[in-house]
A and B are shown apart, each in its own frame.
Chain A
Amino acid sequence: EAGVTQFPSHSVIEKGQTVTLRCDPISGHDNLYWYRRVMGKEIKFLLHFVKESKQDESGMPNNRFLAERTGGTYSTLKVQPAELEDSGVYFCASSQGVLASGRGETQYFGPGTRLLVL
């Protein structure tokens, strides 16, 4: 079974440019999450999709961040325009969303996209 994949693995852009991150969840997982870890800080929640709907976007820092999950499969996170403080590692995670078993509740993480804004 393929895990959560993210693209690109690294991105270096200049302040003011636009970057789009992609996440492909595990097949069949309705729940998709975006998290971010800024250097030296905790991993912070950004938002949560259930299928194609945004369930919780309380962690999105501002309106420069736009997340989509068209068709309920892969998701994109666009940062436009990027600022220096957006640098960090962006993780995507997915879960089945059914609390029928311990394994069903686990969020499975992708390898992350390392974003550096210069």
Chain B
Amino acid sequence: ELKVEQNPLFLSMQEGKNYTIYCNYSTTSDRLYWYRQDPGKSLESLFVLLSNGAVKQEGRLMASLDTKARLSTLHITAAVHDLSATYFCAVAPVMYTGTASKLTFGTGTRLQVTL
């Protein structure tokens, strides 16, 4: 059974600081996703990482994937208050039909950026 572990569960950080959220998964997977959720809102797709060594950046967020270590990281640079949210990683195998399948989620990291 695929397991996804995310840490930390909760992160309080000051504006301007850098930090990294870690996502470990237990078995080989073809797709690694990062989502953001604001309270009471939908999950917003941030990144889709498709191969070993993949790195994607959007603003102050950068995600990377190491399939050999079964590890993805979400790095936050110079945090601002607007980044406060819950961040989820999720993994999915690719079905033999070539379509993606169900996502297995990590527990989520609740990020709070303070002044």
Which residues from chain A sit less than 8 Å from chain B, CB to CB? 3-4, 31, 33, 35, 42-45, 48, 50, 55-56, 59, 91, 93, 95, 97-99, 102-103, 105-112
B41 proximity list for chain A (CB < 8 A):
111
Contact with A along B84-115 (1 / 0, CB 8 A): 00001010001000111111111110000000
Q: Assign chain B's interface to a size class.
A: 20 to 34
Decide if B42 touches A31 in the complex (CB within 8 Å): no
A112 proximity list for chain B (CB < 8 A):
42
Query: B22 on the interface (CB 8 Å rule)?
Result: no
B69 proximity list for chain A (CB < 8 A):
none
Decide if A42 touches B105 in the complex (CB within 8 Å): yes
Contact of B99 (CB < 8 Å), options: A45, A97, A110:
A97
Decide if A98 touches B50 in the complex (CB within 8 Å): no
A95 proximity list for chain B (CB < 8 A):
100
A91 proximity list for chain B (CB < 8 A):
42-43
Which residues from chain B sit less than 8 Å from chain A, CB to CB? 4, 31, 33, 35, 40-45, 48, 50, 88, 90, 94, 98-108
Decide if B99 touches A99 in the complex (CB within 8 Å): yes
CA distance A4 to B42 in the complex (A): 9
Decide if B101 touches A3 in the complex (CB within 8 Å): no
Decide if B94 touches A42 in the complex (CB within 8 Å): no
Report A48 CB to chain B, min CB distance, Å.
Answer: 6
Given A43-B105, A56-B101, 9 other A-B residues pairs in contact with their CB atoms under 8 A: A31-B100, A33-B103, A35-B103, A55-B101, A56-B102, A93-B103, A99-B94, A106-B48, A109-B45
